[in-house]
Structure 1
Amino acid sequence: MIDTLTPLELDPYGKEFVTDPYPLYRRLRDEAPVYRSATMPFWALTRYDDVYASLRDDQAFISGQGVTIEGTEKGMPYLIIKDAPQHSWHKGLAVKIFTRGRMARLEEFIRVRAIELIEELGQRESYDWAEDFAAKLPMDVIAELTDIPEEYRDEIHRWTDIFTLRGDDADPELIKESHRRRLEIFRELIKDRKRSPKDDVITLLMTSETPDADGNPYRMTEEDIVYHYSELGNAGHETVARALPNCLLALHAFPDQRARLAADLGLAESAADELLRYDNPAQYLGRTTSRDLTLHDVTIPAGERVLMFIASAVNDERRFEHPRTLDITRPIDPRSIHFGAGIHKCLGIHLARTEIRVVLEELFARFPDYTVEPASVTRAATSNLRGVRSLTIRPGRHA
């Protein structure tokens, strides 16, 4: 039951939110679809139609002022904070990475690596699904895509994890050091590519051109490539690393759906999409209003930070029937806003779905009677992702 007596207070870094934001999301959708925080510098949109429309309106809701609550990334050459028209030609280069052929080859790698990890970890009586599996597989996948050497992978994961921490769990100096060190690693790798070009995506970014707004050929600067490389490395593994534990917890909470999936692995594709909808690791995306905007009779002034709560939107009763019930046969939402919408919709959404689908297929094929221990879960506040830092799994007998 939703508590309607306590005042509405949305603290994205608070313990209650990190543990379970969904009751609060429902109150916000019903009582304050345009919410203004009294303690932090942001507004919030939580209904599906509002979030979808605002993410697609890149003229009224701009990204260049930053996409987090703090906006400390303002001015950095990340693709996610570029506005039109610059965004168009930068994305035109980045999209070349995600070709059909490259993604097909990558799926083969995902399956082989997932099987290796599942079999290796399955020899233990128990292991940490979040750290031993969910953190490793996506890192190896994005490293395969971008040719990040093995000796850097654990360090990149560790620094990225530190970089996303917020609230009481965050150390501002370590966050700064994380940003500096990750960029340093990617600069070193780019220098290596300049000396010895390879048939990989970083060399592709270094050598490719795309028309700019005037039709002139545009090529990324070295600093652009450093940030895009870093962006790929961060986004490419952190989201899936958070999603995979969420998946097992959701299946644990709905044993009928777990049994249905175990009996028919052909449902893995729709299950992956439903699991992303049910407990999306990406909670919100930040934008800034470029002009005064009125929604639900509330005016948001120009220059204000607005958080579009995707995780609330994809659990909106106005869009989905019984949204807090997991249904792995639920029709896939054609808009699929799990990872955004509009010009900034995540380029890696299909890759994320593929990783989750393959993991479900291979885990259930090998250890169908695995068990999870929800009491083992630990969580921490992060910039805009929600997931667990630890989750014990007992693989059980081999199929």
Structure 2
Amino acid sequence: MLIELDPYGAEYTRNPYPIYRRLRDEMPVYHNEAMRFWALTRYDDVYAGLRDNETFVSGEGVTIEGAEKGMPYLLVKDPPQHSWHKGLAVKIFTRGRMAKLDAFIRARAIELLEELGDRDRYDWAEDFAAKLPMDVISELTDIPPEFRDEIHRWTNVFLLRGDDADPELIKESHRRRLDIFRGLIKERRRSPRDDVITLLMTAEISDDQGGTYRMSEDDIVYHYSELGNAGHETVARSLPNCLLALDEFPDERRKLRKDPGLIEGGADELLRYDNPAQYLGRTTSRDTTLHGVTIPAGERVLMVAGSAINDERRFDDPRRLDVQRPVDPRSIHFGAGIHKCLGIHLARTEIRVVLEELLSRFPKYEIDLSSVTRAASSNLRGVRSLTISPGGHA
């Protein structure tokens, strides 16, 4: 039977894991001629590929289409430019800023849960999972409240693919989001503050050769946009995935409820079980051979992390959720190598805090599986809607 990996198809959107298993077993180096990409699906291959930034480069784009090629996003920078751009971005994720965010995350999660807990039913995906991470990344990057819902809406449009996508609307969403961030930067030039926007505008960094760099105007706009978009979408997809997984494995949910000390490791296991970031695109800089198959230079290659972290060669019974599973020290849920996500600690913290507060306040919550809707999306996998009944306070 022919294996087809179509990341924008209905079967993949619904459940890609059976397809992944067949690819790992039968075709670990897969080629989709029609969509013009290759895919690696085994853990060791994906991990090695993500770390080999000389063979598998990011500068040609990280999606299937590669439309972001040439844009000044950090995720499409290759060395040596990547090094100093990342050096500037790292200045944002300081220990002090993260410590302040921890208290904000818990306070905002409690506030939202209490507000929504007064309803009989609400949409967990839109009313909670989209709002909390947007508020968190906005607290970090100083995005005013009046722009947050709009940024979220346009980001969702930008990520749509397949039958749900409108190419012209995707272009418009890209323009509208950049306009918002450009306006915020313009305002900050008039009134500098001790915040992330001002930091991006004024920070300097030196490379190994002693060169000093500052971001250009476009660099600042795109990096600010990148922080705002990536900083909320991954967690917004993760939180509904967590509830669906715990519904599928009620014994694991009971373990977390009974012993909250398991939640920190359990959050990592939930990310492994159904990670929102399913694949990361790269382009070969030279011919490379794996498992007897040669991928020519200049070809798009998907590093399918969603498959890799469910590889039987690495994990025992991977399609079983086990909140006591030892945490993978490599932890490639959010990439590996030079492009490993800078916000991984923040994402884990948000998921842990939400589970702690939800399970302690509303231990009898129920989800309505018939309410689940999905749409094909670039790189990320999650649900568009998921109805929850809080079930009353503990």
Instruction: Tell me if TM exceeds 0.5.
Output: yes
> Structure 2: which amino acid aligns with 1:13?
Y
SS at match of 1:7: coil
> Structure 1: which amino acid aligns with 2:308?
A
Alignment pair present for 1:264 and 2:259: yes
Task: For residues 40-94 of structure 1, give each alpha carbon's deviation from its aligned partner in whole angstroms, at most 9, with x where no partner exists.
Answer: 1100000000000000000000000000000011110000000000000000000
Superposition deviation, residue 38 in structure 1: 3.0
**What is the root-mean-square deviation of aligned Cα atoms in Å?**
0.6
2:158 pairs, out of 163, 175, 200, with: 163
> Structure 2: which amino acid aligns with 1:128?
D
Matched residue, 2:98:
103
Task: For residues 318-372 of structure 1, give each alpha carbon's deviation from its aligned partner in whole angstroms, at most 9, with x where no partner exists.
Answer: 0000100000011111101000000000000110000000000000110011011
Contiguous gaps of at least 5 residues in structure 2? none
Matched residue, 1:38:
33
Q: Normalising by the residue count of structure 1, what TM-score does the alignment of the two structures yield?
A: 0.98
**What percentage of aligned pairs have identical amino acids?**
78
Superposition deviation, residue 213 in structure 1: 4.8
Find the aligned partners of 1:394 and 1:212 in 2 and give their Cα distance: 53
Find the aligned partners of 2:125 and 2:244 in 1 and give their Cα distance: 11
Find the aligned partners of 1:33 and 1:216 in 2 and give their Cα distance: 42
Task: For residues 186-232 of structure 1, give each alpha carbon's deviation from its aligned partner in whole angstroms, at most 9, with x where no partner exists.
Answer: 00000111111111111111111111353121111111010000000
Find the aligned partners of 1:381 and 1:356 in 2 and give their Cα distance: 23
Find the aligned partners of 1:107 and 1:160 in 2 and give their Cα distance: 25
Find the aligned partners of 1:376 and 1:120 in 2 and give their Cα distance: 21
SS at match of 2:72: coil
Matched residue, 1:365:
360
Superposition deviation, residue 375 in structure 1: 1.4
2:189 pairs, out of 176, 194, 216, with: 194
SS at match of 2:91: helix
Contiguous gaps of at least 5 residues in structure 1? 1-5
Find the aligned partners of 1:354 and 1:41 in 2 and give their Cα distance: 37
> Structure 2: which amino acid aligns with 1:392?
T
Q: Normalising by the residue count of structure 2, what TM-score does the alignment of the two structures yield?
A: 0.99
> Structure 1: which amino acid aligns with 2:55?
A
Find the aligned partners of 1:100 and 1:330 in 2 and give their Cα distance: 28
Consecutive aligned runs of 4 or more in structure 1 exceeding 6 Å deviation = none
> Structure 1: which amino acid aligns with 2:22?
R
> Structure 2: which amino acid aligns with 1:255?
P
Structure 1 stretch displaced more, 152-161 or 215-224: 215-224
Give yes or no for contact 1:85–1:213 (8 Å, CA) kept in 2.
Answer: no
Find the aligned partners of 1:92 and 1:151 in 2 and give their Cα distance: 30
2:112 pairs, out of 117, 128, 134, with: 117
Find the aligned partners of 2:21 and 2:3 in 1 and give their Cα distance: 11
Superposition deviation, residue 175 in structure 1: 0.3
Matched residue, 1:3:
none
SS at match of 1:144: helix
2:230 pairs, out of 226, 229, 235, with: 235
1:149 pairs, out of 144, 150, 158, with: 144
SS at match of 1:286: strand
SS at match of 2:375: coil
